[in-house]
Structure 1
Amino acid sequence: MLSVCFALYAPRPAATVQARNMATLREIQLRLKSVSNISKITKSMKMIAATKLNRSQRGMEIARKYGQAASSLFEQAETTAPADAKTLMITVSSDRGLCGGIHSSVSKYTKRAAAVAPEMGIVVLGDKAKAQVGRDVGASVQLSFNQLGKAAPTYAEACAVVDVLRESDVTFDHARLVYNRFNSVIAYEATEIPVYSEEVFKNSAKFSQYEIEDDVLDNLYEYQFANTLFWALTEGHAAEMAAKRTAMENATKNANDMIDRLTLTYNRGRQAVITNELIDIITGASAL
């Protein structure tokens, strides 16, 4: 009976321990291969984002000049919103991810503004910001747009958004256009551009200096609104490409660090297995 109990609780032979070590090494090898593939993917995505960043920066510089010229129209006319003005916030983002917290920047800006002015309406461009804003102030979202950010923004897209806004039930006296301003390759900032309705613009202090007829004013206002929105879209797209490039660069760096650690662990385990096998061979040779 004692011999049976001793046999049941006897330590496992060395072969089982070696088999377990080999299984662990195979798992590390598989994980090492998986992380290496991820590193190749993130490195390729970083290169693609860098190429798109250069292209988007060129388009942003052109759109910024037109947008600033359009915004100066309100500045020269000294346009200000009345105290009882109906305010609308237009949040500019995109549908794409893998670019860090760039969408959270405009979403947090929008939610802070909505907390101060709960009666303010919200229009969201892009599914990413829509999901984030909708969780807290979804009741204030009057209109949303998607299919944005898959390619570089075009002026036709900005005109289409303006047409939908003008044909919808969304009305405003003062619109706050929130977007990610491109400061540098590693820095962006949530900024807003003011846009006013035609009536508010006509009541500006220095509107009479322009001598604009009513039929021309409608076309001028639509052109000004589209230019400002296109400016915000291109700035946000450039900031998104810069953030995506940074995110993929960090992901590649983390993957390479993990590869180094896994390689070191694999080499140590392999060395331990070889050492154990040598000990068994030497022990067997000594016994003979």
Structure 2
Amino acid sequence: MLSRAVRPALKAGAAASVRPVAAPAATFATLREIEQRLKSISNIEKITKTMKIVASTKLNRAQRAMTESRQYGKTSNTVFEQAETKPLESEGKKTLIVVSGSDKGLCGGIHSGLSKQVRRMLVETPDADIVVLGEKCKAQLSRSNGKNIVLSFNNVGKNIPTFAEAQAIADQISLLPADYASIQIVYNKFVNATSYEPTPVEAFSEEAIKESPNFSAFEIDDEVLTNFREYALSNTLFWALAEGHACEISARRNAMDNASKNAGDMISKYQILYNRTRQAVITGELVEIITGASASEE
């Protein structure tokens, strides 16, 4: 049996143990977490705004390069249109799909759109070979159609494409052992600053050019025909790379703009939550001080 003198002390200790002492500490921890979250979101907002500014400055140069590259592609297309060139449908010959992507991300669904377009094309020609420009589309297509990839290039899309780069890629494609009846280049066509669409364009084979109905009007020798075909392939690749680069810069600017707006909305919400939580902590401390003062007076 405990003495009567000890019982009040036990009751006071029990009451103190029941009192929620951990609540203020948890509230302060929550305040620190909210403050850290606010700092991290603010840093992200600074980064996205900076990337948007950089993309905006690069977009003008990319659009100028795209406009200049279209002259290369239109020149080849004019020859093929006047010659009425059409792709051949030869049995036993494959189709080659060249995907004009890049290595950079943070630009929305621009790469996934190309991959989806290629997968739709592979439904019609499942045995087609694929040449991928850029690591992003390569990573996406390797998961679903890795066996179709015969050649890939990296370090693509870091700077504005040049004709020398397109010519080097065309040389490597020409060295592939297979004889292709059709070569289709899939690229992002620039519609405007906010939209683009994956578009395939035909790069005709040497046999298709030779069998064109009106090709004899151009008086091109057979010895020059191979060089003309490689030059036309380089023109089309340069056009596709430059147009895809402009689409990528535009998409990155839009993506960073949306990310900055979302970060601003999150900062506003967390700032309100921080203020409310801080006010609750202050109110709780005032209640404890008043309660303690009242208890001491009694």
Task: Give TM-score, length-normalised by structure 2.
Answer: 0.90
Number of the residue aligned with 2:48:
42
Report if the CA contact (8 A) 1:142-1:170 is conserved: no
Instruction: Output the CA distance in 1 between the equivalents of 2:216 and 2:64.
Output: 36
Aligned residue number for residue 246 of structure 1: 254
- Asked whether 1:199 is paired with 2:188, we answer no
Cα deviation, residue 62, structure 1: 0.6
Q: 3-state SS of the aligned residue for 2:97?
A: strand
Partner of 2:188: 180
- Please state whether the residue corresponding to 1:276 is helix, strand or coil: helix
1:77 aligned onto 2:101: no
RMSD between superposed Cα atoms in Å: 2.0
Matches within 5 A, 1:5-154: 7=14, 10-14=17-21, 16-84=22-90, 86-154=94-162
Aligned partners of 1:66 and 1:117: how far apart in 2? Answer: 29
Determine helix, strand or coil for the equivalent of 2:197.
strand
Q: What is the distance in 1 between the residues matched to 2:89 and 2:252?
A: 41
Q: Distance in 1 between matches of 2:153 and 2:19?
A: 65
- CA deviations over 1:79-126 (Å, ceiling 9, x no partner): 112332532111110111111110011111111111211122211111
Q: 1:147 to 1:250 in 2, by over 3 A?
A: same
1:260 aligned partner: 268
- Residue 9 (structure 1) shift: 9.2
Q: Distance in 1 between matches of 2:281 and 2:95?
A: 71
The one-letter code matched in structure 1 to 2:70 is: R
Indicate if the aligned counterparts of 2:184 and 2:202 stay in contact, CA closer than 8 A.
yes
What letter corresponds to residue 80 of structure 1 in structure 2?
K
For residues 204-262 of structure 1, the C-alpha deviation after alignment (integer angstroms, 9 at most, x for no partner) is 11111111122332332222111110000011111111111111111111111111111
Worse-superposed segment, 19-28 or 209-218: 209-218
Which amino acid in the other structure matches residue 206 of structure 2?
E
- Give the deviation of 1:169 after TM superposition: 1.6
Unaligned runs of 5+ in 1: none
Question: Do the aligned residues in 2 keep the contact of 1:106 with 1:129 (CA within 8 Å)?
Answer: yes
Gaps in structure 2 of 5+ consecutive residues: none
* Percent of matched pairs sharing the same residue: 51
Give the stretch that moved more between structures: 230-239 or 72-81: 72-81
- Note the C-alpha offset of 1:13: 4.3
Amino acid at match of 1:145: F
TM-aligned CA deviation for residue 8 of structure 1: 8.9
Task: Give 1:76's aligned amino acid.
Answer: Q
Name the SS of the counterpart of 2:212 in structure 1. Answer: coil
Q: For each residue in 1:170-214, what CA deviation from the matched residue of structure 2 results, as whole angstroms up to 9, or x when unmatched?
A: 431211110000101110000011111112201111111111122
- Inter-partner Cα distance in structure 1 for 2:15 and 2:291: 26
Q: Secondary structure at the match of 1:252?
A: helix
Q: Report matched runs for 1:221-232 at 5 Å.
A: 221-232=229-240
- Of the structure 1 ranges 164-173 and 277-286, higher mean CA displacement relative to structure 2 is found in 277-286
CA distance in structure 2 between the aligned counterparts of 1:131 and 1:72, rounded to whole angstroms: 35
**Contact residue 89 and residue 120 of structure 1 kept, 8 A:** yes
Once the two structures are superposed, residues 134-168 of structure 1 have per-residue CA deviations (whole angstroms, 9 ceiling, x without a partner) of: 21121111111111011111111100001111123
